[in-house]
Amino acid sequence: MMRTLVAYFSLLFLCISSSYALKYHAADISSLLVVESQGVSFSDNGKVAPFEDIMKAHGGNTVRIRVWTAGQYNTTYGLKLAKRVKAAGMTLIVDLHLSDTCSGRSGSSSNSFQLADDIVRYTMQIVQQFAAQGTPIDILQIGNEINNGILWPVGEISVNGINPVSQLLNSAVNGAKAAGFSGKTLLHLANGWDWSGLDSFFGGVFIPGALSASEIDLIGVSFYPFYDAGATLSALESSLTNLANTFKKPIVVAETDWPVSCPGVTLTEPSIPVSAAGQTTWIMDIKNILVGLPNGLGQGIFYWEPG
Ligand SMILES: *[C@@H]1O[C@H](CO)[C@@H](O)[C@H](O)[C@H]1NC(C)=O
């Protein structure tokens, strides 16, 4: 089976890389090894090539890999994929999901002190393992879409407030530092169009004695056109402008995509066609929003699973 997705994929990166350059022309390609193991290959102008090489050849420069503490996207899998990403000369983002299920915390009565120790050790090990095989992490994403917290029940914001989350994130940063991490840290929230959600999280998470603002280098947001009617481009623009002005951190759209087929679903921007051309329009529109943010704080787009 050969996928000829590359026509639109290359358009995305050509468009992103022309004129004003965002720093991160990225994609989350975590499922690549799984897809390949199912017999899929990729081609560029009829020539079969490794996906990461095609991406690179068309302007991509950064890859995000998700890492679970167990299961299909475990550390071993992430390490393997990271070798290919680095061999292609790209910037490596490791996205730690810190999932309840994966860390075995689901329903456990662990207290936050034990959990803090665990997360320090875990983050330290991850950073060491990627460095030891010659693929050091460039950007460490701590948690994935963490609007509701991390590591429930301790880090469940609606129950315990944001203080435990602030402490746990601080522990993760400390673990990375203890392993000599010198890259950037990234926090990632869902619903980038929803300023009140972003404001409430980032307005609360930086707490003296726990997580300090200086420990976080980048803010990432997801932005999808089909989960919520509020996810319009104009809402994204206003939300990210507020985010830039208030917290003054570099911003990336850390997950997004636009469909080529989406029957029965109302998209938030009905004027954009459901097609490869529509994907280009969507990405260009997001790029323009990022480029327009104050002080050059709009820095990248991570396309979701283009393979
Ligand atoms: C890690 O992931 C790989 C590939 O996804 C899988 O084959 C392997 O069994 C997993 N290992 C563990 C311990 O879960």
Answer whether 101 contacts ligand 1 (Cβ < 6 A).
Answer: no
Catalytic positions: 145, 255
Q: Does some domain include residue 117? A: yes
Answer whether 245 contacts ligand 1 (Cβ < 6 A).
Answer: no
Answer whether 193 contacts ligand 1 (Cβ < 6 A).
Answer: no
Query: Residue 99: what pLDDT?
Result: 78
Q: Does some domain include residue 23? A: yes
Q: Report which ligand 1 atom has the smallest distance to the Cα of 34.
A: 5
- pLDDT tens digits along 101-132: 533 333 344 466 789 999 999 999 999 999 99
Give the chain's end-to-end CA distance (angstroms, integer).
13
> What does the alpha-carbon distance between residue 188 and residue 143 come to, in Å, rounded to a whole number?
7
Q: Does some domain include residue 154? A: yes
Q: Does some domain include residue 259? A: yes
Ligand 1 geometric centre to CA of 31 (Å): 13
- pLDDT tens digits along 20-73: 589 999 999 999 999 999 999 999 999 999 999 999 999 999 999 999 998 999
Q: Does some domain include residue 184? A: yes
Query: Residue 189: what pLDDT?
Result: 97
Domain range for residue 192? 2-269+280-304
Q: Does some domain include residue 205? A: yes
Query: Residue 114: what pLDDT?
Result: 87
Q: Does some domain include residue 274? A: no
Ligand 1 geometric centre to CA of 35 (Å): 15
Q: Report which ligand 1 atom has the smallest distance to the Cα of 70.
A: 14
CATH number for position 70: 3.20.20.80
> What does the alpha-carbon distance between residue 160 and residue 71 come to, in Å, rounded to a whole number?
28
| Residue type present at position 181 | F
Close Cβ partners of 286 (under 8 Å, ≥ 6 residues apart)? 223, 233, 236, 253, 256, 301
Work out how many domains the chain is built from and give that number.
1
Ligand 1 geometric centre to CA of 252 (Å): 30
Q: Does some domain include residue 275? A: no
Answer whether 80 contacts ligand 1 (Cβ < 6 A).
Answer: no
Cα separations in angstroms, 188 against 19, 33, 130: 27, 24, 21
